[in-house]
Amino acid sequence: MLEITNLRDGAVLDHRSGCETDDYLEITVEGIADPQSAVKVNDIAALRHDRNFSAKVRLTEKINRITVVSDDYFGVKTLTITVLWDKKSFPRYNFFFDDCIFALRSVAKNRPASVFDEMFLGRLKKINSLYGTKFILNLFYNDDHHKDFNLSDMPDTYKTEFQANADWLRFSFHAYSEFPDRPYQNASKEKLAADFDLICDEVCRFDGKECFIAPQVIHWAMTNPENFSVLKDRGVKFLSGGFLGCKTSLTEEHSVQVTDIAYHYEKDVAYYVCDKAVMYDRYYDLLLMPGMVCCNFDDIPTLEKKFAALAAAPRDVVCLMTHEQYSYPDYFNYIPDHLDRIEAACRLAYEAGLKPTWLSYGVFGNESWGK
């Protein structure tokens, strides 16, 4: 018998987890072991009480191994877990849009004097001016709804303007097109790589390379883990998904027991990610996180309830998202107040003291380990 009971492999720990200094994070490791065994945690003798043990351990690295050794006349048992220290963590968030192609088609078709004369992009700029929100637009290459546009049709005449706003507006890969659903669930590495590179090349052409950011989600948040190397080779450090009980349409009934939109992770991981909101996967060196809100599902009263729940149980990292197309009247599921919901989510994040950042960098946007 040997078990750590207050931590699990992949835990992401910060100042709320123990006593943090500039040099270490001191945490308490608790567990159970055979009553007569001597227990050490990272070579520190643990306190014992019947089956229970505890020991204080100092984490000094970004990635830390915690090893518990139980020694008695029946033999030596060893248990090792890996945890990540989110050093000098601070409250932060980002906001991404999936399924993006409508705004760029509108710009290419209407050729406004400024890209921010376009309805959707203009509203994002206004929200940024109010709350400092950083937005990522995850792009399709092909527009399945209008049939007459793909990213190669986007002119490069707005490159300078996009570059001037790259501090808050970035573009990323999502999928070749909206349909078929789940395009990378069983796709080859070659297919995923080709589509990723196609969109990246187009963004660099009409935006500039400084406007492209590694994605934190791909279409339907689903691909075989064997394909993670394709994403990691292209700068992906963090994957977002639903993980548990996800709605996939506005009218869908769903069960919290269903694990889906989660890159094939099993239920134990899905439950943990949804409970703790963050996790580190040592097998693939990836950070995992669910979205907190999705504005095409969550109306403003629901957003307010979710932020009230966050205030009652605060955490440092929050991911906000929605889907671009719900902002456009020619979309069959158009939501008239969709842009108002987006602004409300950003306002609530601002009022909650969350700092806008790019969660794709560092540890969920915290770059303390790079300094």
Question: What are the structural domains of the chain?
Answer: 2-85 (2.60.40.10), 92-370 (3.20.20.370)
Residue 254 has pLDDT above 60, yes or no: no
Lowest mean pLDDT among 69-73, 182-186, 261-265, 283-287: 261-265
Mean pLDDT across the stretch 312-341?
97
Q: Using 50, 70 and 90 to split pLDDT, how confident is the model at 131?
A: very high
pLDDT at 331: 95
Look at residue 244 in the predicted model and tell me its pLDDT.
Answer: 77
pLDDT of the residue at 259: 63
Percent above pLDDT 90 for the chain: 92
CA 175: distance to chain centroid? Answer: 17
The model's pLDDT over 95-115, given as tens digits with 9 standing for 90+, comes to 999 999 999 999 999 999 999
Distance of CA 24 to the CA centre of its chain: 26
What distance in Å separates the CA atoms of residue 356 and residue 341, rounded to the nearest whole number? Answer: 17
Region 348-354: mean pLDDT is 98
Instruction: Write the CA distances from 355 to 216, 234, 313, 317, 365, integer angstroms.
Output: 18, 26, 17, 9, 10
The number of CA neighbours under 13 Å toward the Cβ of 41 is: 25
**pTM score of the predicted model:** 0.94
* Residue-level pLDDT at 262: 86
pLDDT of 251 over the 90 cut: no
Mean pLDDT of 199-228: 96
Asked if the model's pLDDT at residue 213 lies above 60, the reply is: yes
Q: What is the mean pLDDT of residues 343-362?
A: 97
pLDDT score for 193: 98
- Asked if the model's pLDDT at residue 260 lies above 80, the reply is no
Note whether 56 and 79 are within 8 A (CB). no
> At residue 255, does pLDDT exceed 60?
no
Q: How does the average pLDDT of the chain come out, rounded?
A: 95
Place of tokens 């351990």: 57
Please give the average per-residue pLDDT across 3-16, as a whole number.
Answer: 98
Q: Check whether 249 has a pLDDT greater than 80.
A: no
Average pLDDT over residues 3-26: 98
Cα 174 versus chain centre, distance = 14
What the block records as the tokens of 67 is 């090893």
With a cut of 90, say whether residue 253 has pLDDT above it.
Answer: no
Which pLDDT score, from 0 to 100, does residue 190 have? 98
